[in-house]
């Protein structure tokens, strides 16, 4: 059995240095840390996680809570979290909440009793006070995707207002003047921000706001199939539809195809997310690209830094919100 002294000998450091690297509790020169991690990998060394957890008061395990892994944005975010966690010696527990607050509470209550070291939460809703309470209870916490800028919590988001504003401005610049919006659930902060960005862009371009052109989700993304068909049952038609997520845009493409509407000659369609499927539909979907994998990487890095800070100081650092950039990816669904 390989032990910590064997790893130390290969790395050319003391056993205590190996211990400090593996615990993450003390500062170690980055070059030395990498040398130790390479030795650990070479020797296939596996410390006794249970004994280590008992000694340190933690388990090197973090929870990632998502509404549903079937939502196309979350596989990339999850991969970013998992890759970063693994590089730092952490294990990720994935929790699907199904947008159910009681399921969310049940997960949290169980995980808090099992020495979970911190939480990355992608399922934040306005009434999620049980999530906000985690930080007050001393648990490292990072929100991803769903977070109001004014929340006094660590978060990784994009500027949804600006991204939506820029998307609508692009449609106006390319000759569109009747722009419909396919809107997600307004209790989710990111959809409210995308709605406000859409409205601001119309105002700044002196275009009227037509409530008939704002399609509001009734029962998931699939509801936009019939919402789109109903909107086009009355003239005049919009000349563009901006969907606040790619799954909504893909359903809209399906509805337009079935009605014989030419895309983009009759109606342009623009999505939001740039999930992998968006480049594979016909026509390939123009969309606002979110850095989904990077969001997962940044969130995991922030959480691990919080965990290590707490090890050193007994408290949590001042929270900060990281706002990542978006880009417009123009394909063939817009003219």
- Asked whether the beta carbons of 33 and 207 are under 8 A apart, the reply is no
| Rounded distance between C-alpha atoms, residue 85 and residue 320, angstroms | 20
From the options 3.40.190.10, 2.40.110.10, 3.30.565.10, 3.40.50.2300, give the CATH code of 55-157+292-325. 3.40.50.2300
Say what the pTM is: 0.81
Task: Give the strands of the sheet with 327-329, arranged side by side.
Answer: 214-216, 179-183, 240-243, 268-273, 286-289, 327-329
| Rounded distance between C-alpha atoms, residue 267 and residue 238, angstroms | 7
Report the pLDDT value the prediction gives residue 150, as an integer from 0 to 100.
66
Report the pLDDT value the prediction gives residue 4, as an integer from 0 to 100.
85
What are the C-alpha distances in Å from 291 to residues 70, 80, 275, 288? 18, 10, 10, 10
Top-tier CATH class for 160-290: alpha beta
Q: Domain ranges in the chain? A: 4-47, 55-157+292-325, 160-290
| Rounded distance between C-alpha atoms, residue 171 and residue 243, angstroms | 12
Top-tier CATH class for 4-47: mainly alpha
Report the pLDDT value the prediction gives residue 50, as an integer from 0 to 100.
43
Q: Which residues pair with 214 in a beta bridge?
A: 181
Q: Which residues pair with 243 in a beta bridge?
A: 182
Report the pLDDT value the prediction gives residue 177, as an integer from 0 to 100.
97
Q: What is the mean pLDDT of each run of 10 residues along the chain (335 residues)?
A: 85 89 77 90 71 58 94 95 95 92 90 87 84 91 84 92 98 98 93 97 97 93 95 96 97 97 98 96 97 98 95 92 96 97
For residue 277, give both structure tokens: 């499927």
Query: Would you call 80 helix, strand, or coil by DSSP?
Result: helix
Domains 4-47 and 55-157+292-325 share a fold: no
């Amino acid at each position: 059995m390989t032990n910590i002294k064997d790893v130390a000998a290969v790395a050319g450091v003391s056993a205590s240095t190996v211990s400090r690297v593996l615990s993450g509790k003390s500062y170690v020169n980055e070059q030395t840390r990498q040398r130790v991690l390479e030795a650990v990998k070479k020797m296939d060394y596996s410390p006794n996680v249970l004994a280590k957890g008992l000694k340190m008061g933690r388990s090197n395990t973090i929870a990632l809570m998502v509404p549903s892994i079937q939502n196309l944005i979350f596989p990339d975010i999850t991969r970013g979290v998992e890759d970063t966690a693994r590089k730092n010696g952490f294990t990720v527990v994935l929790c699907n909440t199904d947008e159910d607050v009681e399921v969310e509470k049940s997960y949290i209550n169980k995980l808090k009793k099992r020495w979970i070291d911190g939480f990355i939460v992608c399922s934040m809703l306005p009434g999620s006070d049980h999530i906000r309470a985690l930080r007050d209870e001393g648990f490292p916490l990072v929100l991803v995707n769903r977070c109001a800028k004014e929340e006094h919590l660590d978060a990784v988001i994009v500027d949804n207002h600006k991204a939506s504003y820029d998307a609508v401005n692009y449609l106006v610049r390319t000759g569109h003047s009747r722009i419909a919006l396919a809107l997600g659930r307004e209790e989710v902060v990111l959809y409210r921000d995308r709605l406000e960005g859409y409205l601001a862009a119309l105002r700044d371009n002196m275009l009227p706001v037509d409530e008939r052109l704002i399609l509001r989700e009734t029962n998931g993304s699939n509801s936009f199939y019939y919402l789109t068909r109903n909107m086009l049952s009355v003239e005049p038609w919009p000349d563009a539809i901006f969907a606040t997520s790619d799954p909504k845009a893909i359903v809209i493409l399906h509805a337009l195809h079935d009605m014989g509407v030419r895309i983009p000659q009759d109606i342009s369609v623009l999505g939001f997310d740039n999930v992998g499927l968006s480049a594979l539909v016909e026509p390939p979907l123009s969309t606002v690209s979110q850095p989904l994998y990077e969001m997962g990487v940044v969130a995991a890095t922030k959480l691990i830094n919080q965990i290590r800070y707490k090890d050193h100081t007994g408290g949590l650092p001042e929270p900060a919100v990281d706002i990542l950039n978006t880009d417009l990816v123009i394909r063939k669904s817009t003219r």
